[in-house]
Amino acid sequence: MAKRVLITGGSVAANTLAWWLLKGGFDVTVVEKAPEFRDGGQNVDVRGVARGVLRRMGLEDKVDTGGTGETAWTFVDENNEVVGRFALKDLGANGPTAELEILRGDLARLLYESVRDRVEYRFGDAVAATEDGADAAHVRFRSGKEEDYDLVLIAEGVGSSTRELVFQGENEPRWMDVTMGYFTIPKGPGDGSDARWYNAPGGRSVFLRPDNKGTTRAVLTLQAPVREAPEAPEEQKKWLRERFADAGWETPRVLDGLEDADDLYFDLLRQVKMKRWHKGRVALTGDAAWCATPLSGIGTTLAIVGAYVLAGELSNIDDAERALRNYEDVMRPFVKKGQNVPKIGPRLMQPHSRLGVSLQRSLLGIASKPSIQGIITKVAMPPAESIDLPEYRYNAQV
């Protein structure tokens, strides 16, 4: 089996993949275009079988103790009156708030620190070109360095530039008609352990979530068919201010916090449903392969499980092509369920008319009743267990 592997990307999928490849005896290099490891990011859920992967890595307890402390989702009106509340203790693993709720950056750092002494990390660089040869993939980096690898594994985001280089003409997006701005603001007097969700007419929502840093994570969401948006952070802030200026509730405070935020992540949600995840000596995983979007609720779970399966197949089968086919066979059904996000969902969650907002609040009030919550959750939320986690044999110790 090929042993020298390049992973592109530096977040959850990449670092999980590095951990398991080390256990399989691989020589691993990770290249990440950011100049240093990136902390920060919003709350992410670790569900179902992904907990089993973290348990096998000895990291489950660390993730649990490093959680955000989020206890519920509370929907509120413009007067901050509760419309409906969905508590973790009542909904368990299958609710909107997962049992393991942690900041993206905290999870990525736990994974990174578990392998960084045994992996060569190259920050501030990226793949410029790769050519599949008879014995190796020849990679040229933007820095000008050139090297050969037995495999190149792309663990980047939905807009992966390396995937675009290798899988040209296969990256047609499925636009979800949702634009989201994520950023951190100072904690306010009304910010507790509950996440609070407010809807305003015009397809707008404001979402405030707790963290374990003494601040609050804010999300501004607009449901509308947007295909082009500004790239510069200051222009993105202006774009959000213009569309949320009259939204009401605590939005003025959120927009004030946006002015000083240095971690704005601005995203036009889209999926890229790749027909294949490998080509020659190059394979895809994480959002580069299947981006389910934040709307699915299982993006982080897919990243962790996908990395575990990819590394496991490569470690257990002495034929890279067959191992990559097995990886796709195992993950495709799981991924298909995660990608099955109807575009009507965001429209229902972000109503456009005042009447629509009023009707939504009435329905949330009914749905949050204890006798109804369990039924609603089973219908609305992704199943926590959607894959039988394979068992793999390893000789190396991590």
SS3 assignment, position 318: coil
Using CA atoms, how far apart are residues 115 and 306, in angstroms rounded to an integer? 18
Using CA atoms, how far apart are residues 353 and 357, in angstroms rounded to an integer? 6
CA–centroid distance for 199 within its chain: 23
Side-chain half-sphere exposure of 31, counting CA atoms within 13 A? 21
Angle between helix 233-244 and 251-260 (nearest 10):
170
What's the CA angle centered on 396, arms 392 and 398, to 5 degrees?
Answer: 100
End-to-end C-alpha distance for the chain, whole angstroms = 19
Place of tokens 């097995």: 326
DSSP per-residue letters across 143-170: TS-EEEESEEEE---TT-HHHHHHSTT-
Q: Are strands 4-8 and 27-32 parallel, antiparallel or unpaired?
A: parallel
Torsion of CA 8, 13, 16, 21, to 10 degrees: -50
- Please give the order of strands across the beta sheet that includes 146-149: 127-132, 137-141, 146-149
Using CA atoms, how far apart are residues 166 and 279, in angstroms rounded to an integer? 8
Using CA atoms, how far apart are residues 396 and 21, in angstroms rounded to an integer? 9
Q: What is the pTM of this model?
A: 0.90
Residue-level pLDDT, tens digit, the chain, 398 residues: 559 999 999 999 999 999 999 999 999 999 999 999 988 778 888 888 899 999 999 999 998 888 888 889 999 999 999 999 988 777 655 555 555 778 888 999 999 999 999 999 999 999 999 999 888 999 999 999 999 999 999 999 998 999 999 999 998 888 999 999 999 999 999 999 999 999 999 999 999 999 999 999 999 999 998 888 888 999 999 999 999 999 999 999 999 999 999 999 999 999 889 999 999 999 999 999 999 888 887 889 999 999 999 999 999 998 999 999 999 999 999 998 888 888 788 888 999 999 999 999 999 888 888 766 665 555 555 544 567 888 998 865 55
Residue type, 158: V
Place of tokens 């006798």: 371
- As to burial, measured by CB atoms within 10 angstroms (0-12 exposed, 13-18 middle, 19+ buried), residue 305 is buried
Q: How many CB atoms lie within 10 A of CB 79?
A: 7
- As to burial, measured by CB atoms within 10 angstroms (0-12 exposed, 13-18 middle, 19+ buried), residue 260 is exposed
Place of tokens 């449901």: 223
Q: Among 327, 260, 255, which Cα is nearest to 13's?
A: 327
Type and span of the H or E element at 306: helix 299-316
Using CA atoms, how far apart are residues 160 and 54, in angstroms rounded to an integer? 25
Q: Which residues of 114-143 are buried (b: 16+ CB within 10 A; e: fewer)?
A: bbeeebebbeebbbbebeeeeebbbbebee
pLDDT reported for residue 384? 46
Place of tokens 């299947």: 290
Using CA atoms, how far apart are residues 283 and 321, in angstroms rounded to an integer? 10
Backbone φ and ψ for 327, nearest 5 degrees, come out as -55, -45
Residue type, 355: L
CA–centroid distance for 247 within its chain: 27
Using CA atoms, how far apart are residues 304 and 381, in angstroms rounded to an integer? 19
Type and span of the H or E element at 260: helix 251-260
Type and span of the H or E element at 75: strand 72-76
The residues near 322 (Cβ < 8 Å, ≥ 6 apart) are: none
